[in-house]
Structure 1
């Protein structure tokens, strides 16, 4: 793609710190594409762990990381998002390198937990870093551009990881994990030189302060939960769809890769455009409600595929990819707006980390939910999931408007306790 086309589509932020961040994110997610594609095989074939041991370690790491996400958000508020984010990138680079030295299950558990903490910390602080590096009018677009870079990176990493699948040796899988470690380190080095302004919290002695906590903000928590429900669509694409196509339809298995390619291309081309239509909370709320309807239509489309011939099934699956991707683009655009606009500017780290818990917890629960609800019940399961998305979209929209009305109302200021004058030695 030539430079004029890139400029017209605005796939990258303008020159400066945000563009450097986008390129670092692209490099980082190439490594993620490597790891997602071949990481499990590294553990089972190079480290010689069982599938159950691998799943236990990775699940435990994710769980501990989710529990600590808000702590990293608080650190970002206090010390700045950039140093916390870069430190976590370095930590993840070290953990990926450590994986290549693991030789038994006990050490794997240790590294998996530390890696899970760094991984969730990165996810929980990225929003705070974007907020610090961009202006109010460009934050949602910047987040969309970062997501575009993420999809490009994942696609490139997946293609490169295909070589390790063809070679299919422990050494090849070890190189994949080592490459991921190196790319984390490169991304950290690129961001280390970027200047990011940071205003530390006001000390209590400075007078009246607003003590904003997302855990006490019921409206924000409601938006977080409802958005997390809508985020189930991510695992529909990555988990349920491949199993459904392979086990319940006549479509050839190569059609799964074709759907993934179509989805990636559409996200790269249209994510930034879609985000412009969710620049305010009311716009994003309407988009979330529409998202529920579009994802419901996608579920009903899949429900009819078992009865189709191979050729017709592939055609319907391609139609599904377009409909589903529209829902994905709208959900993520609304999510970007909710996360930024409904959080106070002086507590973005804490609020963004809590907001990321919604999709994070859904990602952890999704395989079980989709296996039990959809894959075991076929057409009826897809119909139930369609109703789930309809309700989730309505809940996300209503919760966002509830929180928005509260944000428009001035909040009472909580003052710090007045400090008594110090007693002199003569008065004691």
Structure 2
């Protein structure tokens, strides 16, 4: 059995072990699902030792694709087992990018663009902004969203397929669950079959958010991972085909999924306002991600959050800090949202047409790490930011 397949088998056994003990799932999407279920590993330590041996073998073989994946698995599993690496080291090992952050000037520029987009709809910048936006976007129920998400995706699917060149089929099973976790919705799956879960404890929908959601979850994650599966089962690929949230492909997956409306429906004014606000707030979350891991106090971080986003609730701030500060999976995975969103938003607005075409087509053929994206667009911004000190604000400033 080749080393890639050994790693996949071990990761599937690790995933089964976590499922048996009620832990977090490991595999987010299996691009080459086996015919029969895999039995669980005996322990996390057994998995750690197997992965360590695989890393040594990959280094000896010069197998960079497998070594990169195993390194990420070891960093995450080590954290699950009690290690707490420094944030930048942890992110470079798992997400494949640094945590240098974005400059004050850049964040204020994004804030001004978001503020102007809101003002164009008669919405101010204050504690009630979130509620006013919710009304502007047109509230709908979770049941309505579940019934209509497929229709909304179908409207844009031909554009996404034309831009990416993918011919992969995909199906989606929708479930409504009640889970005490940070997420509002989640796509996972295997082969060409995806599962979309709505978490009624945290999810809320509007007409505008539904349009973004359909592109993000169905045409982003479900179709993209099905496309990877098509590649992974028809070509002799070097990459490990069991995808997880702590591998260095998440900046691609979350960034492009978030930015898709910039490429597909740029004339939708309300959706473009949603994009501006989302881009800005992701970078604010990145500031807080860095700050809580650098030892700044909860009070300092909360004050900064309210200064940057005056409509951010205490519940959201509290969850944001605990998720990014203490939970091994989220401490890694949630960094991919600001890192990837910023890169793909800039790709949509600054890159030339041939570059955009090359990136989008490659991005639906096989997974790309930040280093791969940088090769496709060398003039693009540094994923994870090009360097800025952590400077926290008080609620009297933006």
- In the superposition, the TM-score normalised over structure 2's length comes to 0.29
- In the superposition, the TM-score normalised over structure 1's length comes to 0.28
Q: Larger Cα Rg: Structure 1 or Structure 2?
A: 1
Identify the structure with the greater helix proportion.
Answer: 1
